[in-house]
Chain A
């Protein structure tokens, strides 16, 4: 299944913020988590994550720090801020409203086809 580009773009911010809300992380690991969460169906172009992280940083939603873990290479780590958490909560409210509306109409449709299918 190919997910529509606009939908991928719209969900990118809440997804990244939610992943960072689980704990600080770095670019490559964030993308791995996105693939894992969507069973590989949300296919991002890897590079595009970084401009997004830039934007989140500029808006003050995340903080960044270059660090070298005991084993491994030097990486830029991102951590969510309180502002980021507030933005995430707002995103969440909006997405829940959208999915609720969609679920409502689709469940109704299913019931109808179910009823008519029986008849």
Chain B
């Protein structure tokens, strides 16, 4: 029996290395193996023979691992890591591919700027169209990477063309609020369009949608990192150029926008190819910031209740609360996408519920004050956009709070919560598109 124990220990160590299997899975498979060996020895087999038969029946580890990997929180990339490890050559050509799209985006934005009169002046159509010079390249990059069919590629291109036509034919009042709203909402709407090539056209799949959420969060982290590094680089450049008398500000003016545009693609490429790196970072960041936000929100409620809602409430506050809810929703979405869906409720889920619930309470207080204020002052484009977004976020978070409370009390599953989030996502995309297309004519393009 000694020998078999040794062999089992070795086998356990071997399958324990597999990233797709966690400690619990290994333990479960081991009890299975031991049950099988016990039965076979009772039937008359020698222990070492029984071990071999039991291993054989368990199946090949690579197939098992693939099966586990595809099951666990849609982490399909692990599958590809397992399947095509060692294909260095392909990775290299992918690198070039990303670079081509990044350079194309950078060049396009630069040409557009020159056309808009840079460096002497800047036409307002540039701000309005900025995302149209960058995001099509991101969509194109994914269309190429995923090997999209012609029909799907055309479907991807259509929203870009339609929005380009719409926003450039709308007779915006120069510098008006609808123009600024469109400039702010168009990138969001177009980001949702990128979902289509990213998921290879399978936008209905909840798992793939969750992959896109994960991608968005990881892309954001990479983009911030690139921006920080770029900032350091530019600052040092400015210092180095100072003694030569070259105007550093003009250099930055030339370099920054194309670099920012190219980085969008580079960050996407980094998420795609260096996923393992950011994958470890994402859960840590969520774990770090969810409790901090929970504390901040609870403290804010206490302060609001003690001091009361003063007259200091101006309309900008609604925008601030929109931002707050977006951040909370982002943390929740990110937490959900990084979580092991089959784990039982833990303390992180509770803290998340506290954060969401307090954000809701705060927002309802603010919203109440705002609605009465709008009643007095009437609707403007800004107020309509801010209020609409606020209501949508409120509904999304209310659903989240309700489902996560039910999950924590054992009345529902985590899957429901995940489904709620992925089903609700398109609402935000539709809202952003509506602000771009419907809101300006509604308010006469002011």
The answer to the question of B82 belonging to the interface, with a C-beta cut-off of 8 Å to chain A, is no
Known contacts A45-B57, A48-B63, A51-B68; 17 additional CB pairs below 8 A are A28-B31, A28-B32, A28-B35, A45-B58, A46-B32, A46-B58, A46-B59, A47-B67, A48-B59, A50-B28, A50-B64, A54-B25, A54-B342, A58-B415, A73-B35, A74-B27, A76-B28
Number of A residues with CB within 8 Å of any CB on chain B: 20
Distance between Cα atoms of A45 and B61 in the complex (Å): 11
The contact of A76 among B24, B60, B71, by CB within 8 Å, is: B24
The answer to the question of A92 belonging to the interface, with a C-beta cut-off of 8 Å to chain B, is no
Say yes or no: B412 contacts A60, CB within 8 Å: yes
Say yes or no: B24 contacts A46, CB within 8 Å: no
B interface secondary structure, majority: helix
The answer to the question of A59 belonging to the interface, with a C-beta cut-off of 8 Å to chain B, is yes
The answer to the question of A55 belonging to the interface, with a C-beta cut-off of 8 Å to chain B, is yes
List, in ascending order, chain B residues with CB within 8 A of A74's CB: 27, 31
List, in ascending order, chain B residues with CB within 8 A of A45's CB: 57-60, 63-64
Say yes or no: B342 contacts A48, CB within 8 Å: no
Closest to B25 in A: A50
Say yes or no: B64 contacts A48, CB within 8 Å: yes
Q: Name A residues whose Cβ lies closer than 8 Å to a Cβ of B.
A: 26-28, 45-48, 50-51, 54-55, 57-60, 73-76, 83
List, in ascending order, chain A residues with CB within 8 A of B414's CB: 58
List, in ascending order, chain B residues with CB within 8 A of A50's CB: 25, 28-29, 32, 64, 68
CB distance from A13 to the nearest CB of B (A): 13
Say yes or no: A46 contacts B34, CB within 8 Å: no
The answer to the question of B72 belonging to the interface, with a C-beta cut-off of 8 Å to chain A, is yes
10 A-B pairs closest in CB distance: A60-B413, A45-B59, A28-B35, A51-B67, A47-B59, A47-B64, A47-B58, A51-B71, A46-B57, A57-B342
Closest to A65 in B: B344
CB distance from B192 to the nearest CB of A (A): 26
Distance between Cα atoms of A46 and B40 in the complex (Å): 15
Distance between Cα atoms of A51 and B72 in the complex (Å): 9
CB distance from A25 to the nearest CB of B (A): 12
- Known contacts A46-B36, A47-B58, A73-B34; decide if A60 and B415 are in contact (CB<8 Å): yes
List, in ascending order, chain B residues with CB within 8 A of A59's CB: 413, 415
Say yes or no: A58 contacts B416, CB within 8 Å: no
List, in ascending order, chain A residues with CB within 8 A of B70's CB: 51
Distance between Cα atoms of A60 and B71 in the complex (Å): 14
List, in ascending order, chain A residues with CB within 8 A of B64's CB: 45, 47-48, 50-51
List, in ascending order, chain A residues with CB within 8 A of B60's CB: 45
Query: Can you give 7 contacting A-B residue pairs, CB < 8 Å?
Result: A47-B29, A54-B68, A60-B412, A60-B413, A73-B31, A74-B27, A83-B413
CB distance from A16 to the nearest CB of B (A): 14
Distance between Cα atoms of A60 and B413 in the complex (Å): 5
List, in ascending order, chain B residues with CB within 8 A of A48's CB: 59, 63-64, 67
The answer to the question of B341 belonging to the interface, with a C-beta cut-off of 8 Å to chain A, is yes
Say yes or no: B57 contacts A55, CB within 8 Å: no
List, in ascending order, chain B residues with CB within 8 A of A28's CB: 31-32, 35-36
- Known contacts A47-B64, A48-B64; decide if A27 and B72 are in contact (CB<8 Å): no
CB distance from A21 to the nearest CB of B (A): 18
- Known contacts A51-B64, A58-B415; decide if A75 and B58 are in contact (CB<8 Å): no
List, in ascending order, chain B residues with CB within 8 A of A76's CB: 24, 27-28, 31
Say yes or no: B416 contacts A60, CB within 8 Å: yes
List, in ascending order, chain B residues with CB within 8 A of A57's CB: 342
Distance between Cα atoms of A27 and B34 in the complex (Å): 12
Closest to B21 in A: A50
| Per-residue contact bits, chain B 384-422, to A (CB 8 Å; 1 contact, 0 not) | 000000000000000000000000000011111000000
- Known contacts A45-B63, A51-B71; decide if A58 and B31 are in contact (CB<8 Å): no
List, in ascending order, chain B residues with CB within 8 A of A75's CB: 28, 31
Closest to B410 in A: A63
| Per-residue contact bits, chain B 146-183, to A (CB 8 Å; 1 contact, 0 not) | 00000000000000000000000000000000000000
Distance between Cα atoms of A59 and B416 in the complex (Å): 8
Closest to A63 in B: B410
List, in ascending order, chain A residues with CB within 8 A of B34's CB: 73
Closest to B20 in A: A51
CB distance from B415 to the nearest CB of A (A): 5
Distance between Cα atoms of A28 and B57 in the complex (Å): 12
Closest to A61 in B: B413
Most A CB contacts (10 A, CB to CB) among B28, B29, B342, B412 go to B28
Distance between Cα atoms of A57 and B35 in the complex (Å): 23
Q: Which of B21-70 contact A (CB under 8 A)?
A: 24-25, 27-29, 31-32, 34-36, 57-60, 63-64, 67-68, 70
Say yes or no: A58 contacts B29, CB within 8 Å: no
List, in ascending order, chain A residues with CB within 8 A of B36's CB: 28, 46
Distance between Cα atoms of A26 and B34 in the complex (Å): 13
Distance between Cα atoms of A8 and B110 in the complex (Å): 58
Say yes or no: B72 contacts A54, CB within 8 Å: yes
